[in-house]
């Protein structure tokens, strides 16, 4: 599940989107930071009544794929090569920085 921000004012930012991989108490997942921290993917975890803790994923990227209509995420090595028939999207630094620049141009 992709989790974004909601706002009633100007157009909300697409980045950073927190991808929640577990929740219901303590929660966590992945997020790509472009400006707020050193650019790259981070894992995050938040306990009850505490601030989120972020850990940079060095040398790894996120992949997104769809299985029976459900969006799934995983972390793979930087040199990962998908099979031709895999329905996935690799979210590497280049892709995420492009998305952030596209967003800046539309705001």
- pLDDT given for residue 15 in this prediction: 55
Is there a domain that residue 102 lies in? yes
- Tell me the β-bridge partners of 43: 30, 55
Is there a domain that residue 3 lies in? no
Query: Residues with Cβ < 8 Å from 82, sequence gap 6 or more?
Result: 63, 88, 90
How many domains, in total, are found in the chain?
1
Question: In this model, does residue 1 exceed pLDDT 80?
Answer: no
Is there a domain that residue 20 lies in? yes
How many CB atoms lie under 10 A from the CB of residue 24?
6
The dihedral over CA atoms of 86, 34, 77, 66, expressed in degrees to the nearest 10, equals -20
CA-to-CA distance for 31 and 52, rounded, in angstroms? Answer: 11
Higher pLDDT, 3 or 19: 19
Rounded to 5 degrees, φ, ψ at 99 are: -60, -40
CA-to-CA distance for 29 and 51, rounded, in angstroms? Answer: 14
Per cent of the chain over pLDDT 90 is: 14
Average of per-residue pLDDT across 16-45:
86
Q: Which domain holds residue 46?
A: 13-106
- pLDDT given for residue 94 in this prediction: 81
pTM over 0.75, yes/no:
no
Question: In this model, does residue 10 exceed pLDDT 50?
Answer: no
């Amino acid at each position: 599940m992709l989790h974004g921000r909601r706002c009633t004012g100007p157009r909300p930012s697409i980045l950073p989107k927190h991808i929640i991989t577990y929740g219901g108490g303590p929660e966590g997942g992945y997020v790509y930071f472009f400006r707020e921290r050193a650019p790259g993917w981070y894992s995050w975890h938040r306990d009850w009544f505490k601030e989120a803790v972020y850990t940079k994923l060095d040398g790894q990227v996120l992949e997104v794929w769809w299985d029976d209509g459900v969006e799934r995420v995983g972390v793979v090595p930087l040199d990962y090569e998908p099979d031709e028939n895999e329905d996935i999207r690799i979210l590497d630094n280049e892709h995420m920085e492009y998305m952030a620049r596209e967003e800046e141009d539309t705001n």
